């Protein structure tokens, strides 16, 4: 039922983060950042090992000198950063479009997660390329790598590019030509391009199968570095991953020193922003004290923040990331109330109070429900006030409606469980997409980004748009894959696989899992189509929604003991380590 899973921090001799399954109930706060209060100006940052004490405040003179040094270092970095950005702009103005150097540059900027500095320049390059595409035979004499690269970058940015451009690489037998078999670079680009397929684009399905099989076979004969690059492409295609989370993997093979230097400096600056935000969130969560009222609930501000960090990648969206994390935390807490704590009668009263937005209706409920309702009431109103003050529109009715929709769906699942009812797989999935929490999160994000300034625009979130439902289905199905470690799971949260197996007697769990993966693939195709088609949402919102879908596999890639080793490595590198150079 949960929108997210679990994060667990355990003490050791070094700074580590260990992610585990929902059932863990240990203290999960990120103790790497130890400051007693963000309101105390004497506090200093300290990234510590888990068993170290917090840093003591510096003496007055030391504080002054330290402050001067920090400001000086920050100013120096700002100046250096600005110079590097301008230098890259000059490089972009000089790249040779005839040899596709402009698109190679755009690809590099995107993979290094610094493209947000050059949006105008990138849009100019892509518009020029698109005009060439519709007015000339742009791809007539281009090789597989160039055609695939151009297709992927243009379509990723929303340009309508037909997949028929790949027919030139097919022979008379309608199969891809054998001469492509040894073109490793071209095959990698083709596989990347195939990830942007929509429903019915058979040629891209064929391209995906063709390139995957050849690349997988080729790894046996490649040297270690080449094999590593191919494996990373197959496991982490650009379109289905968050670039910032793959930066270290890409920069290892990068040779341009100017772009590399800018990427390193930008990473360090963005890392500082993320560390500051995480400290604020951790302090806010401690002050809320909800985990004291709900001892069995998940206590995991770091993991909640990771979703916001992945969704809203622009460093300027700091306030939005913090507020979105607060929303996500409440999805977790309310999910745990329905899963672990409440009786059906209590949950019914709680849900009715949410539907009426009536804080007086909860007087007869247990204290933990009262405190959770009050937290939801306060935070929702706080976000509504911020949106109103910044954009001039009060979204409170839309925000509360999203919470009511979520709790209504939670209640349906709670009644299923209480009565031991196993619904049909389709019925379960319809409710499960709602209880994933994605609608609540995207509604709040929509208003936090200022996408609505009147009722007509606000009503866009009343319908379950294809972008929202596609992301919700991807999240719900991946979550169920992760929780279905074997056929003997207790089913407390419900699972699409359990419903599917119950509905199809004699079906193996392996076949059920393959069916789920097919549904996820189809959902990605629909999401691609919705993002390519004209839609009422801003580019920032669409990208953020897609980023949540991109983050999902990382959040549910369980290892032994229901841990998340891949996520642990990513977090350690992104939030706690210096750049790997």
Q: Both 251 and 338 in a single domain? A: no
Indicate whether 365 and 416 sit together in one domain: yes
- The alpha-helical segments, DSSP class H, found in 118-174 are 119-135, 144-156
Closest CA to 563 of 6, 9, 20, 17: 20
Quick one: how many helices (H) and strands (E) in the chain?
23, 2
Q: How far apart are the first and last CA of the chain?
A: 41
Query: Model confidence over 62-87: pLDDT tens digits?
Result: 444 544 555 677 788 899 999 999 99
442 and 492 assigned to the same domain: yes
| Per-residue pLDDT, 254 | 76
pLDDT in tens, 260-315: 999 999 999 999 999 999 999 999 999 988 888 787 778 889 999 999 999 999 99
Res 15 pLDDT > 90:
no
Query: Structure pTM?
Result: 0.84
Do residues 403 and 542 both lie within one domain? yes
Structural domain contains residue 27: no
Q: Name the nearest CA neighbour of 165 among 183, 186, 191, 147.
A: 147
554 alpha-carbon distance from chain centroid: 9
Q: Which of 206, 239, 259 is the last residue of a domain?
A: 259
Arithmetic mean of pLDDT, 42-60: 32
40 within some domain:
no
Angle at 435 between CA 433 and CA 439, to 5 degrees: 70
User: Distance between CA atoms of 549 and 44, rounded to whole angstroms?
Assistant: 36
Q: Which helix (H) or strand (E) holds 8?
A: strand 6-8
State CA 44 to chain mean position distance.
30
- 8-state DSSP, 47: B
pLDDT at position 43: 31
558 pLDDT band, cuts 50/70/90, is low
List pLDDT tens digits, range 247-256.
887 876 677 8
**What is the reported pLDDT for 35?**
30
390 in a structural domain: yes
Average pLDDT for 506-511: 94
- 565 band by pLDDT with thresholds 50, 70 and 90: low
Do 255 and 318 belong together in one domain?
A: no
How large is the angle between the packed helices 496-503 and 425-435, nearest 10 degrees? 170
Q: Verify that 446 and 328 share a domain, yes or no.
A: yes
What is the per-residue pLDDT for 160? 92
What is the structure's pLDDT at 325?
A: 98
* Residue 238 lies inside a defined structural domain of this protein: yes
The full 3-state SS of 373-441, as one line of letters, equals HHHHHHHHHHHHHHHHHHHCCCCHHHHHHHHHHHHHHHHHHHHHHHCCCCCCHHHHHHHHHHHCCHHHH
Is residue 11 pLDDT above 50, yes or no? Answer: no
What are the C-alpha distances in Å from 292 to residues 20, 218, 297, 437? 21, 55, 9, 23
DSSP letter (8 states) at residue 337:
I
Band (56; pLDDT cuts 50, 70, 90):
very low
For residues 486 and 415, membership in a common domain is answered with yes
Exposure string of 446-475, with b = 16+ CB inside 10 Å and e = fewer, is bbbbbbbeeeeebebbeeebbbbbbbbbbb
Instruction: Please say which residue of 259, 289, 324 terminates a domain.
Output: 259
Helix (H/G/I), strand (E/B), else coil: 356: helix
Instruction: Summarize the confidence of residues 374-403 as an average pLDDT.
Output: 97
Residue 255 sits in the same domain as residue 320: no
Q: What is the pLDDT of residue 578?
A: 61
CA separation for the pair 469, 530 (Å, rounded): 11
Q: Is the pLDDT of residue 389 over 90?
A: yes
Contact 320, 345 (CB under 8 A): no
239 and 365 fall within a common domain: no
Total domains present in the chain:
2
Nearest to 6, CA basis, from 298, 285, 286: 298
**Domain boundary, last residue among 229, 259, 289:** 259
Query: pLDDT tens-digit profile of 410-468?
Result: 999 999 999 999 999 999 999 999 999 999 999 999 999 999 989 999 999 987 799 99
From 528, 539, 328, select the one nearest 442 (Cα to Cα): 328
Instruction: Give which of 413, 462, 426 is closest to 442, Cα–Cα.
Output: 462
CATH number for position 127: 1.50.10.130
Per the domain annotation, does 225 fall within a domain? yes
Q: Are residues 255 and 391 in the same domain?
A: no
The reply to whether 445 falls in a domain is yes
Structure tokens at 304: 């909640």
pLDDT of residue 563: 59
Token output for 477: 């199905």
Give the rounded percent of residues in the chain with a pLDDT score beyond 70. Answer: 82
Tell me which residue of 342, 272, 336 sits closest to 304, measured CA to CA.
336
Average pLDDT for the chain: 84
Give yes or no for residue 482 having a pLDDT over 60.
yes
Report the CATH number that the domain containing residue 556 is assigned in CATH: 1.10.600.10
Per DSSP, the three-state class of 267 is helix
Residue 402 has pLDDT above 70, yes or no: yes
pLDDT score for 293: 79
In terms of domains, do 238 and 333 share one?
Answer: no
Q: Are residues 491 and 421 in the same domain?
A: yes
Residues 6+ apart with CB under 8 A from 493: 1, 2, 22, 339, 483
pLDDT over 90 (residue 25): no
**207 is in which domain, residue-wise?**
62-259
Radius of gyration in angstroms for the set of CA atoms belonging to the chain, rounded to a whole number: 25
Please tell me the least confidently modeled range out of 214-228, 294-308, 494-508.
294-308
CA-closest candidate to residue 208, choices 257, 168, 148, 128: 148
């Amino acid at each position: 039922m949960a929108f997210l899973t679990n994060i667990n921090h355990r003490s050791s001799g070094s700074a580590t983060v260990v992610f585990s399954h929902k059932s863990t109930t240990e203290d999960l706060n990120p103790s790497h950042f130890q400051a007693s209060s963000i309101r105390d100006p004497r506090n200093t940052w300290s990234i510590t090992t888990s068993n170290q004490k917090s840093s003591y405040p510096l003496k007055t003179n030391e504080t002054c000198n330290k402050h001067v040094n920090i400001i000086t270092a920050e100013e120096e970095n700002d100046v250096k950063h600005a110079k590097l950005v301008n230098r890259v702009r000059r490089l972009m103005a000089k790249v040779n479009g005839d040899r596709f150097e402009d698109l190679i540059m755009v690809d590099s900027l995107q993979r290094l997660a610094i493209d947000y500095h050059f949006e105008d320049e990138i849009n100019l390059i892509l518009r020029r390329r698109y005009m060439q595409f519709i007015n000339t035979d742009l791809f007539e004499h281009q090789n597989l790598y160039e055609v695939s690269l151009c297709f992927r970058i243009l379509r990723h940015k929303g340009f309508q590019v037909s997949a028929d451009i790949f027919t030139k690489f097919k022979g008379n037998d309608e199969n891809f030509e054998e001469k492509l078999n040894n073109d490793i670079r071209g095959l990698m680009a083709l596989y990347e391009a195939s990830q942007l397929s929509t429903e019915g684009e058979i040629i891209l399905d064929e391209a995906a199968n063709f390139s995957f099989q050849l690349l997988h076979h080729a790894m046996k004969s490649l040297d270690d570095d080449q094999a590593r690059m191919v494996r990373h492409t197959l496991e982490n295609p650009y379109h289905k991953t968050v670039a910032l989370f793959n930066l270290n993997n890409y920069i290892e093979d990068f040779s341009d020193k100017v772009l590399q230097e800018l990427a390193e400096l930008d990473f360090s600056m963005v890392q500082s922003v993320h560390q500051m935000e995480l400290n604020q969130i951790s302090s806010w969560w401690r002050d809320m004290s909800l985990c004291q009222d709900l001892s069995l609930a998940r206590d995991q501000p770091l993991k909640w923040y990771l979703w916001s960090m992945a969704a809203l990648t622009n460093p300027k969206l700091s306030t939005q990331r913090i507020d979105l994390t607060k929303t996500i935390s409440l999805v977790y807490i309310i999910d745990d109330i329905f899963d672990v704590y409440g009786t059906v009668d209590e949950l019914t009263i709680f849900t009715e109070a949410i539907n009426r937005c009536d804080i007086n209706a909860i007087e007869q409920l247990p204290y933990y429900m009262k405190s959770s309702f009050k937290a939801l009431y306060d935070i929702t109103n706080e976000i509504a006030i911020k949106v109103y003050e910044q954009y001039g529109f009060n979204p409170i009715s839309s925000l509360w409606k999203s919470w009511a929709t979520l709790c209504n769906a939670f209640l349906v699942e709670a009644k299923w469980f209480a009565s031991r009812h196993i619904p049909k797989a389709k019925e379960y999935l319809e409710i499960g997409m709602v209880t994933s929490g994605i609608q609540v999160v995207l509604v709040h994000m929509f208003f936090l980004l200022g996408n609505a300034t009147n009722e007509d625009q606000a009503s866009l979130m009343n319908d379950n748009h294809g972008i929202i439902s596609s992301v919700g289905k991807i999240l719900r199905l991946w979550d169920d894959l992760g929780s279905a470690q074997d056929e003997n799971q207790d089913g407390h949260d419900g699972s699409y696989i359990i419903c599917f197996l119950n509905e199809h007697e004699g079906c193996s769990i392996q076949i059920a899992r393959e069916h789920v993966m097919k549904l996820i693939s189809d959902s990605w195709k629909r999401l691609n189509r919705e993002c390519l088609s004209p839609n009422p949402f801003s580019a920032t919102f669409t990208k953020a929604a897609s980023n949540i879908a991109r983050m999902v596999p990382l959040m549910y890639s369980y290892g032994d003991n229901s841990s998340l080793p891949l996520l642990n490595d990513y977090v350690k590198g992104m939030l706690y380590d210096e750049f790997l150079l």
